[in-house]
């Protein structure tokens, strides 16, 4: 019996679990050396030129500047469509902003592409920065 490499859906699940667990090294280990991240796709305060974050060093910098400063990140995936080496997951990401008084709520489509060898070739997030909801956290 041979072990099949992780498919795109499994990689997406592991990516979200690592982010939720705040496990930087596990998250980074899911990516191929030449992978890229676009979250969100296009220009944003996270990526002013809208070209994405290419290679492990740039992806690590994305983690350190965008993911790490948050207090927590949770995912609510409501639909998932696996097609070949890619998956499109539909859902909500809730990010507890540093300080803990507000959540940023993002609704979108999150795609993961496998390189066919059990690593992520890309993570792309389709969401509108201007549609981000900032809500006060109630105690």
C-alpha 67, offset from chain centre:
9
Q: What is the DSSP letter of 47?
A: B
The pLDDT value given to residue 110? 98
CB-CB contact of 113 with 90 (8 Å):
no
Full-model pTM: 0.93
C-alpha 34, offset from chain centre:
16
Which residues contact residue 80 at a Cβ distance below 8 angstroms, ignoring those fewer than 6 apart?
9, 12, 87, 88, 89, 90
User: Tens digit of pLDDT per residue, the chain (139 long)?
Assistant: 557 899 999 999 999 999 999 999 999 999 999 999 999 999 999 899 999 999 999 999 999 999 999 999 999 999 999 999 999 999 999 999 988 899 999 999 999 999 999 999 999 999 998 999 999 988 6
The rounded distance, in Å, linking the Cα atoms of 27 and 11 is: 10
């Amino acid at each position: 019996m041979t072990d099949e490499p992780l498919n795109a859906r499994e990689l997406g699940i592991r990516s979200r679990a690592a982010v939720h667990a705040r496990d930087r090294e596990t998250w980074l280990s899911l990516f191929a050396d030449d992978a890229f991240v676009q979250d969100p796709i296009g220009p944003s305060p996270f990526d002013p030129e809208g070209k994405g974050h290419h290679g492990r060093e740039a992806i690590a910098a994305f983690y350190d500047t965008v993911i790490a400063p948050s207090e927590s990140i949770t995912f609510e995936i409501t639909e998932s469509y696996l097609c070949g080496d890619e998956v499109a997951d539909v859902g909500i990401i809730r990010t507890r902003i540093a300080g803990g008084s507000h959540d940023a709520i993002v609704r979108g489509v999150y795609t993961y592409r496998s390189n066919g060898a059990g690593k992520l070739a890309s993570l792309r997030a389709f969401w509108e920065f201007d549609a981000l909801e900032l809500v006060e956290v109630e105690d």
